[in-house]
Amino acid sequence: MAEFIEPRPTPDVAFAAHPCVEVAFTNWPRQVVPINEVPFLIGRGSENGNHLALDDPRISRKCAVITAVPGGLQIEDRGQRSGIFVNGTQINRGKILCDGDRIRLGAEVECQLVFRSFSDLRASGEGQTRLDSLVGPRTGDSHFELNRLRMLLEATSLLHSQLPLELILATMLDHAITITHADRGMLLEPDASGVMQVRVARGRERTSLAPETVNPSRTVLRQAVEQRSVAINKDLRLADANLQAAQSVVLQYLRSAVVIPLYSVPCVDDAAHTPGHDELLGAVYLDSKREAAFSELDRQILDALGVQAASILDNARLMQHERERQRLEQELIIARKIQQALVPQGLQDFPYLEITGIHRPCYEVGGDYFDVFPAADGRTAILIADVAGKGLGAALLTTMLQGALSGMSLGADPVKVFDHLNRFLCDRATVGRHVTMFFGLIDPDGTLEFVRGGHPSPLLLRRGQVRELYTEGSFPIGLVEQAYYAASKIRLDPDDTLLLFTDGATEAADKDRNLFGYTALVDAFVQHANGSLDTLLSGILGTLERFSEGVRQTDDITLLLVRYRPSAQERNQTAMSGLKATS
């Protein structure tokens, strides 16, 4: 894993242990100054020989001095207005400093220094000492690191709850900020064009930042993504012109940043996975007002953080997909309810006809449907339709068809409606579906006028014998623009029974992929004919189910049974009109 460092002169002194003071003034960039010589003078302005020159009117020119004494380094007050305080207690004479002591200069709590007993530092070639990294002595402090890892695990465990995704990501960032002592944290995700966009941004103390205002360093982001590993930038002032130009007070004080790119954890059994091609999920971006805030000492922590954050993001996405799937499922349930609500109601209420039917889609919604409705001229319309394909796409078309065909209840000519629908669907070939349909109008006198559109002939059961209404073919609706349609007529006798079906019935398969077939359907129809229509329907369905023995069917099954059964009065009327016609 390579670390990114801005180009700079090679240091001639590498690492040396030195005590130092950390300037921790509020609203100042965090700054660390090594104590290279003693006495080490602290005060306003460097012209007074101060080693640590603090340009702040609240600091006296001769403020304090650090000297070496037998017990270590000692701080003495040189005349700071309102005195010098160590860990909240004013010093009268010298006070020996311990690691982490907080030194307050004067009455203002904002003006504080933190004493560090040693640190790693580098000196530049020009002799200017420059401290690159200081985060405090962490190595070997297992409690500290364990605590960090505990926080990471806690963040991960949030996934098992049902918290909103944004909250999980924000919590993960809060942990990352705590772990790294960063001032801000962001989670970025690539958008559709691959540009990293800030999804969540957080500040210290669990504050939420507006993603559009945080303006992360694109340079460091790009480095991390290009080298596919953690990129640390120690001084953003050298990296990003846009940060220098930024007007925001916060941005002006940002000094260092770390970017941890997050990659999906490949599945062990993922055969398609190619090493080095893990999907880039996003990046964690942390920045700080301190220079070199993210030292090399943090590398293991950063790696652990990266792994944890990636798995959090990965899991969060899986969870999101799962929720999306559930949402789609919910939508399908709604679609199914709508489709069921469109099934004709009150089939038992039609005069001179007994009617029953079933629509059994193989998926949540289906491409088959049947309908029965009164036509304008006193006849009763019956129809069965089968849209090519299955599922939601086919179901959408069935609802359109049902709407279009219901127009026939207002007296439209069915042949014209078929022609119109054929043109409509051929003109919209990208719909990618056509329909087979049988449409019939039954007169109270038993005359059945029908139009066929590539649909298998209904079966007519008359006195124990089954026959087809037609054997010649017809054009499906919406397949070829040359298609034309015509109406035919037959006369039904009382107690004649029609079985309208879709090919899902004849093509129901058993476990060996044998098809139920036309002959078996005819046999089942005849076999169960001596009863009510409901008995007949359940008899046919039972035969189908025994044949397929629980094999999941791959097509919708729709059956509609219509029995012509005029009342005595209707028969008399029919007979009378017949006499008139022949006389």
The answer to the question of residue 94 lying near other proteins (CB under 8 A) is no
Instruction: Please give the helix or strand (H or E) that residue 539 lies within, else none.
Output: helix 533-548
Q: How many whole angstroms separate alpha carbon 49 and alpha carbon 43?
A: 9
C-beta closer to other proteins: residue 435 or 498: 435
The answer to the question of residue 14 lying near other proteins (CB under 8 A) is no
Size of the site for other proteins (CB under 8 A): 24
Q: How many whole angstroms separate alpha carbon 78 and alpha carbon 103?
A: 14
Residues 483-502 that bind other proteins (CB under 8 A): 483
Q: Which two tokens stand for residue 241?
A: 């012109």
Binder to other proteins among 473, 486, 519, 580 (CB under 8 A)?
Answer: 473
DSSP secondary-structure letter at 509? B
Q: Among 18-26, 161-169, 201-209, 381-389, which window interacts with other proteins (CB under 8 A)?
A: 381-389
Binder to other proteins among 60, 180, 229, 474 (CB under 8 A)?
Answer: 474
The answer to the question of residue 479 lying near other proteins (CB under 8 A) is yes
The answer to the question of residue 389 lying near other proteins (CB under 8 A) is yes
The answer to the question of residue 480 lying near other proteins (CB under 8 A) is yes
Q: How far does CA 45 lie from the centroid of its chain?
A: 57
CA distances in angstroms from 8 to 11, 13, 123, 234, listed in the order given: 9, 14, 12, 11
Binder to other proteins among 19, 306, 440, 454 (CB under 8 A)?
Answer: 454
Shortest CB 454 distance to other proteins, Å: 4
Shortest CB 249 distance to other proteins, Å: 58
Q: How many whole angstroms separate alpha carbon 339 and alpha carbon 37?
A: 86
C-beta closer to other proteins: residue 444 or 478: 478
Shortest CB 475 distance to other proteins, Å: 5
Q: How many whole angstroms separate alpha carbon 298 and alpha carbon 292?
A: 11
The answer to the question of residue 390 lying near other proteins (CB under 8 A) is yes
The answer to the question of residue 388 lying near other proteins (CB under 8 A) is yes
Contact 415, 485 (CB under 8 A): yes
Q: Where are the beta strands (DSSP E) in 4-51?
A: 13-17, 20-23, 31-34, 40-43
What residues have CB less than 8 Å from 113, skipping those under 6 apart? 21, 22, 23, 24, 42, 52, 102, 103, 105
Closest C-alpha to 533, from 379, 387, 356, 359: 356
Q: How many whole angstroms separate alpha carbon 107 and alpha carbon 438?
A: 95
Shortest CB 486 distance to other proteins, Å: 12
The answer to the question of residue 554 lying near other proteins (CB under 8 A) is yes
Residues 426-445 that bind other proteins (CB under 8 A): 429, 432-434, 436
Closest C-alpha to 180, from 93, 257, 81, 66: 257
Shortest CB 444 distance to other proteins, Å: 31
Q: How many whole angstroms separate alpha carbon 281 and alpha carbon 283?
A: 7
Q: Among 25-33, 303-311, 413-421, 481-489, which window interacts with other proteins (CB under 8 A)?
A: 481-489
Q: State the binding string over 496-535 for other proteins (x if CB under 8 A, else -).
A: -------x---x----------------------------
The answer to the question of residue 567 lying near other proteins (CB under 8 A) is no
Residues 152-171 that bind other proteins (CB under 8 A): none
Pairing mode, strands 208-209 and 231-233: unpaired
Q: Among 146-154, 177-185, 273-281, 382-390, which window interacts with other proteins (CB under 8 A)?
A: 382-390
Contact residues toward other proteins (CB under 8 A) are 386, 388-390, 429, 432-434, 436, 454, 456, 473-476, 479-483, 503, 507, 554-555
